[in-house]
Amino acid sequence: MHCAACALTIEDALRGVPGVTEADVSAATRRARVVWRPGQVLPSQWMAAVRKAGYQAMPAMDAFAREQRQRESRRALWRWLVAGFCMMQVMMYAWPAYQAMPGDLTAEMEQLLRWASWVITLPVVLFACGPFFSSAWRDIRQRRVSMDLPVALGMLITFVVSMAGTFDPAGPFGREVYYDSLTMFVFFLLTGRWLELRLRDRTAGALEAVMNRLPDSVERRGADGAFVRVATRRLQRGDVLRVLPGEAFPADGRILAGSTQADEALLTGESNPVDKTPGSCVTAGSHNLRAAVEVSVDALGADTRFGQIVALMESASLQKPRLAQMADRVARPFLVGVLLAALAAAVWWWPTDPSHALMVAVAVLVVTCPCALSLATPVAMLTAAGTLARSGVLVRNLQALEALATVDTVVFDKTGTLTHDRLTVSDVQVAPAAGLTSAQALGLAAMLARRSLHPVSRALVAAAEAEREPPDSSWTLDVVHELPGAGLQARAWQEGQELTLRLGKAAHARVAPTEQRQVVLSAVRAGRVVELARFALGESLRPEAATVVRKLRAAGIDVQLLSGDRGAAVHDVAERVGIDVAHGDCTPQDKLQRLQALQAEGHRVAMVGDGLNDGPVLAGAHASIAFGRAVPLAQSRSDVVVLGDNLGSVTQTLLMARRTLHIVRQNLWWSAAYNAIGVPLAIAGYMPAWLAGLGMAFSSLLVVLNAARLARTAGGRAAAVSLVPHPAHSPLEVA
């Protein structure tokens, strides 16, 4: 694959197969996501459709895919070397003709130099130009147009005209030869494509950079107690592994023996090594830094957090932002226009000089190749997504980068966002009529809270575990429901009697409210509400919160606060961080209504929350950011997920989005300006073929180099992100 037209061709081939419901192909990452109905079509059938369209498809996880890509890379390097060597030789033979005065070269000597140039050009045409000709022939057979077709036509016309001038100097095309122009523009073209491929692999994805974080094999303990190296794909839950220093952990698990440090930067954005001792949890994709440890496997593949991360990134890599979709739509009509423009130029110049007419057509065919246009948006977007991923920020939706770049208002949730999500239970007040001790009340509340991921629920569970008192066996819970913005409700039995337990806000528990920040546990039996206990909670403000708000305001972005917490607590936090507009006691519906009111006023709003009870408002915002520690990634409705615990990632993401859109616009303007200047010059006959090839290669290369600037993080490192496919979507590597 070389261009957007290739991606569209493969998509058409896949969608034309009965039983295939979805097909998304990315030209920038060379990957496809296919969704099909197993009862109607087999994978071999739609893979055959891809093969019939002239491309080869293979599972992206297959080791053969990496080997195939490496072979293609080596072959491309050889083609570039052959083209470069032959170009220098042909230029050496052409130089005397350029420098000689009339009479300096005899006819025999000039003919000998032309024959030598023809011989040296043959390897370029037969080997270096092979991919262009094969792709063009495939297009002709399939009756379609791709970006290789005009380029291959230009190469063929130049070679045929030059060969006619060599073998039949008195013929209709005259005695002019263009071997030097041909070899030069092939060399420039291959140089641009090879550098472009290297840069795209390094900055816009390198899809297996993360995939290779998982080792191909690992030492597993056998029945006899000895460790034997086996393939990672053969692991099962419960296996005991020995992970050596420098290796990545292949699965989520728990350390059984040994102590070490792990690099979890990809998973959390935290660059400092994390100490791991016996009993500590380790995550797939993190690296063992210090010593060999024995690990028990708890989760594998898509069930791991690593699997969720790479599935999200894989999905993002196959999306087409709005600007990229526009470029795709114009790619094919533009190519048809290129062919017609070349034909018109040839017809216009033919009466004057047939040879010159054909070379003008070649220049038009080459200079107008829209490679830069098709790469302008996806390469920049993927590079930005890769850079953010290195900092622990996952972009689920590439379109969100375009939306974030235009945001003028950011709305924050409070708990778990501006404040730490690690709430603590500071006091337990048991109602006199409850007949419970503080530890029993806390344990009962924790029985409900274990069914929730909300920060308040986690605080109650942590406090109960700290008491180390066994749960009260007289209580049995069933059918626990979480009501967003209110609390938990469960059907319970005690000593054979059924009742309803409620845990959450005072209104939810149906008891009298208090001024203090409290969570209430109540029981409802036969319509009568009995208050059991109140739990006072404390929270701490994130130290970077005030700085983040100040930086957003400095960037011209208004900041507001919406929270379901009490108004007094919300306004206190708003005052401490410097937010002027704050609203408390908001239900999820209230938050959504206030968000829609802002949007009705013409504001473009980004919502930042913990992803737990903010589902409607996250979905309703122009763009949304959630902290991934608070919610399973697969359930998050946000466009961007922050894996770490640093609120500064919000500012980083917004500024990166603005920078990305700026570079995308630069790329699009450059592509448009390049064609606006190059096409008239080519039609007027002022642009030789070699200069057209140089312009085409330089245009694509400049777009990729410009996007590569997004790969520079604060530490000056280039970002390389890889995406592991999600098994349910069956991504394919398209070669």
Is the same domain home to 519 and 602?
A: no
Return d(Cα 168, Cα 679) in angstroms, integer. Answer: 31
- 3-class secondary-structure state, position 519: strand
Tell me: pLDDT of 225 over 50. yes
Q: What is the pLDDT of residues 617-648, one digit of tens each?
A: 777 888 888 876 555 554 456 788 887 778 88
Q: How confident is the model at residue 61 (pLDDT cuts 50, 70, 90)?
A: low
Is the same domain home to 408 and 551?
A: yes
Is the same domain home to 551 and 415?
A: yes
- 3-class secondary-structure state, position 733: strand
Per the structure block, which two tokens stand in for 606?
């980004």
Residue 424: CB atoms within 10 A of its CB come to 14
pLDDT at residue 370 in the model: 62
User: At 362, which amino acid appears?
Assistant: V
With contact defined as beta carbons under 8 Å apart, do 186 and 203 qualify? no
487, 488, 493, 497: CA torsion to nearest 10: 40
Is the same domain home to 479 and 549?
A: no
Q: Residue range 246-275: average pLDDT?
A: 81
Last residue of a domain, one of 654, 671, 692: 654
565 sits in the region (left: phi over 0; alpha: psi -120 to 50; else beta) called: beta
Is the same domain home to 429 and 533?
A: yes
Task: Name the average pLDDT for the chain.
Answer: 79
pLDDT at residue 168 in the model: 82
Residue 498: its H or E element? strand 497-504
Tell me: pLDDT of 449 over 80. yes
Domain annotation covers residue 310: no
With contact defined as beta carbons under 8 Å apart, do 545 and 649 qualify? no
Cβ contacts of residue 260 below 8 Å, gap of 6+?
245, 276, 288, 289, 290, 291, 292, 293
Tell me: pLDDT of 254 over 90. yes
Domain annotation covers residue 29: yes
Domain annotation covers residue 582: yes
Supply the range of the domain harboring residue 57: 4-64
With contact defined as beta carbons under 8 Å apart, do 546 and 553 qualify? no
Domain annotation covers residue 462: yes
Q: Which of 314-318, 400-404, 587-591 has the highest mean pLDDT?
A: 400-404
pLDDT at residue 502 in the model: 92
Per the structure block, which two tokens stand in for 373?
């246009």
Which percentage of the chain shows pLDDT scores above 70?
81
Is the same domain home to 616 and 482?
A: no
Output the domain CATH number for residue 274.
2.70.150.10
Domain annotation covers residue 280: yes
Higher pLDDT, 284 or 385: 284
What b/e sequence results for 248-275 when a residue is b if at least 16 CB atoms lie within 10 Å of its CB, and e otherwise? Answer: bbbbbbebeebebbbbbbbbbbbeebbe
Is the same domain home to 602 and 561?
A: yes
Is the same domain home to 528 and 591?
A: no
For the question of residue 413 being annotated catalytic, the response is yes
Domains held by the chain: number? 4
Tell me: pLDDT of 714 over 60. no
pLDDT at residue 731 in the model: 36
Residue 320: CB atoms within 10 A of its CB come to 22
Residue that has been written with the tokens 């190749």 in this structure: 369
User: At 257, which amino acid appears?
Assistant: A
Which percentage of the chain shows pLDDT scores above 90?
11
Tell me: pLDDT of 394 over 90. no
How far CA 484 is from CA of 501, 513, 587, 588, in Å, comes to 16, 19, 8, 7
Residue 46: its H or E element? helix 43-52
Cβ contacts of residue 116 below 8 Å, gap of 6+?
93
Domain annotation covers residue 559: yes
Return d(Cα 138, Cα 133) in angstroms, integer. Answer: 8
With contact defined as beta carbons under 8 Å apart, do 613 and 454 qualify? yes
Domain annotation covers residue 681: no
Is the same domain home to 545 and 502?
A: no
pLDDT at residue 85 in the model: 93
Q: How confident is the model at residue 410 (pLDDT cuts 50, 70, 90)?
A: very high
Residue that has been written with the tokens 């920049």 in this structure: 380
- What is the crossing angle of helices 179-203 and 63-99, to 10°? 150
Last residue of a domain, one of 611, 634, 654: 654
For 482, phi then psi, to 5°, come to -105, 125
Tell me: pLDDT of 156 over 60. yes
- 3-class secondary-structure state, position 697: helix
Total residues found in the chain within this entry: 735
Last residue of a domain, one of 64, 88, 114: 64
When mean pLDDT is compared across 80-84, 377-381, 425-429, the lowest value belongs to: 377-381
- 3-class secondary-structure state, position 340: helix
pLDDT at residue 421 in the model: 62
Output the domain CATH number for residue 639.
3.40.50.1000
Is the same domain home to 407 and 550?
A: yes
- In DSSP terms, 247 is beta-bridged to none
Burial class (CB in 10 A: 0-12, 13-18, 19+), 612: buried
Is the same domain home to 508 and 602?
A: no
Domain annotation covers residue 682: no
User: At 483, which amino acid appears?
Assistant: L
Tell me: pLDDT of 107 over 50. yes
Q: Residue range 460-489: average pLDDT?
A: 81
Is the same domain home to 430 and 524?
A: yes
pLDDT at residue 207 in the model: 43
Output the domain CATH number for residue 446.
3.40.1110.10
Q: How confident is the model at residue 24 (pLDDT cuts 50, 70, 90)?
A: confident
Residue of 413, 565, 610, 639 with catalytic role: 413
